[in-house]
Amino acid sequence: MKCLKCDKDMKETGIGYAEKGEMIYDVSLDVQGDLQWEQDEMIGNGEGYFFCRACGSKLEGVDEEAVIKALKE
C-alpha cells in the first residue's frame, strides 16, 4: 500500500493511528522532591484515523480492513 501523498510503501515506513482522548498520569515525588509524571493510561474517545508514518498525512477512507489487507500483502 503506497501513500497517495509521498508515494512511499507504508508497509515499510509504517502506518500510524491517532485518536483523540485524555492521557492519565500518576503523579508522585521523586527523591529530590520534584514532581514525577508516570503515564498510567490513555482513554480514547473512539474518534481516530490512520496516517502515513513517513509524511504524517491522514489516510482518507482507510479502515481497519484495508490496513489488515495492506499489511498482509
Q: What is the total count of domains within the chain?
A: 1
Q: pLDDT tens, 16-32?
A: 999 988 989 999 999 99
Q: pLDDT tens, 7-66?
A: 999 989 999 999 988 989 999 999 999 999 999 888 888 789 999 999 999 999 999 999
pLDDT confidence of residue 27: 94
**Rg of the chain's alpha carbons, rounded to an integer?**
17
pLDDT confidence of residue 46: 79
Tell me the pTM.
0.69
In a domain, 52, yes or no: yes
DSSP letters, 4-27, are TTT--BHHHH-EEEEEEEEEEEEE
13 phi/psi in degrees, rounded to 5: -85, -25
For residue 61, the enclosing domain spans 10-72
- Looking at this protein, which amino acid is placed at residue 56? G
Strands 35-52 and 15-29: antiparallel
DSSP 58: B
Contact 68, 6 (CB under 8 A): no
In a domain, 5, yes or no: no
